[in-house]
Amino acid sequence: MTTNSIPNQSIGTDSAVQESPTPNSALNDNELTDEMQNDAEAADSDLLADDDSEDDETSIAGQAASVVVDVSHTVTEDESGLRIDKLASQVFTDFSRVQLQGWITDGSLLYNGTVQKPKVRVKAEDVLHLSTTLEQHSEDQPENIDINVVYEDDDVLVIDKPVGMVVHPGAGNQTGTLVNALLYHYPQQHHLPRAGLVHRIDKDTSGLLLIGKTKPAQMALMEQLKDKSVYRHYQCVVAGDAASLLRHRRIEAPIGRHRNQRTKMTVMTAGREAVTHLLDVTALNDNYCQLDVGLETGRTHQIRVHLSHITYPIVGDRVYGGRRQLRAGLSEAQRQAINEFPRQALHAYTLGFVHPTTGEDIEVTTPLPEDMQQLIAVLSDGYNDE
């Protein structure tokens, strides 16, 4: 595994990447639209399909347009002796080495007008000619926006999305999104649906997002979301006492779109199956807890809806929490911290998947953002003092 730096971006030095010691957890999150953009942004929900949609690729792709690539390179004396695939990756820098190897194999990238194996070594004055057609899936524009890369190789990218960043352009958010940032740092991904995104999280939820850097990798990872070999775990802060929450270790309640408020989801008999697991419950004080949450199914806003349904909403969730966030026994500082917390205290901190090329089990983790750490510190202040 490698983690490569990219110009104009921050790299998460506190994040950890490791191979999973055991097969991927049975608690998976194939939640393609788990935390979609709040309010008006949620109306864009069909752009990324739910996990059991029959047309994931169509849903994620949007409108596609053909882009013709036709470029040549003549080998110099200094480049003589290099493998075809290595030289191609040095001169055709808009594309990954994996993409170029595929084009060498299928004849899109010719060596002196003929199909050769990637390992063949070139000579001075030889000619590499790349001719292929890419599908450009949107009119989204690249923007120089920092992104925090926590894992990267030739096929896969994992980034830690900050609070406030919209994942992809939509109604009212045509610029400043993660897709715009990806197209700047990875221009070769313009031909991928949503610049390679495999799933998304809400603007006001922080945490890990999985991105395919090639079309085969993106499609393979989307298939993993369906068969539950991709998993994500979340940390959140909720209004509720530990004893009560421990009685809800498994929350099973169908979720559907609210009949009257179309940007909201709700528990309803006619909804789709939804199962949430509370993996760990840590008391911060008598009426607030920190939860480690795993998802067996992936439904829009599932964690937020389920926790609100059992009357223990996430702190800061203005859509599903309301006044129930305020419980008895709070100090003035604690009450102020809850009232002023500007977003739902929800963070996707662990992401696991099977590498689409090597077959390795990969797990990536990232720490809680500072705002949630401060909230936890205020709510737990003095609780364990003797």
Catalytic residues: 202
326, 340 Cβ separation under 8 angstroms: no
Write down how long the chain is: 386
Helices (H), 199-300: 215-227, 242-245
Question: Which among 37, 39, 61 is positioned nearest to 48, based on CA atoms?
Answer: 61
| The two structure tokens encoding residue 139 | 């009119």
d(CA 123, CA 78): 10
213, 196 Cβ separation under 8 angstroms: yes
| The two structure tokens encoding residue 176 | 């400043």
d(CA 344, CA 376): 13
37, 170 Cβ separation under 8 angstroms: yes
| The two structure tokens encoding residue 220 | 């393979």
Please, is 346 exposed, middle or buried when counting C-beta atoms within 10 Å of its C-beta (0-12, 13-18, 19+)?
Answer: buried
| The two structure tokens encoding residue 206 | 């922080």
d(CA 351, CA 28): 10
Question: Which among 209, 157, 187, 213 is positioned nearest to 3, based on CA atoms?
Answer: 157
What is the residue whose two structure tokens read 């996707």? 348
Which positions ≥6 away from 372 have C-beta within 8 Å? 206, 235, 237, 345, 347
Which positions ≥6 away from 139 have C-beta within 8 Å? none
Type of residue numbered 299: R
d(CA 60, CA 48): 5
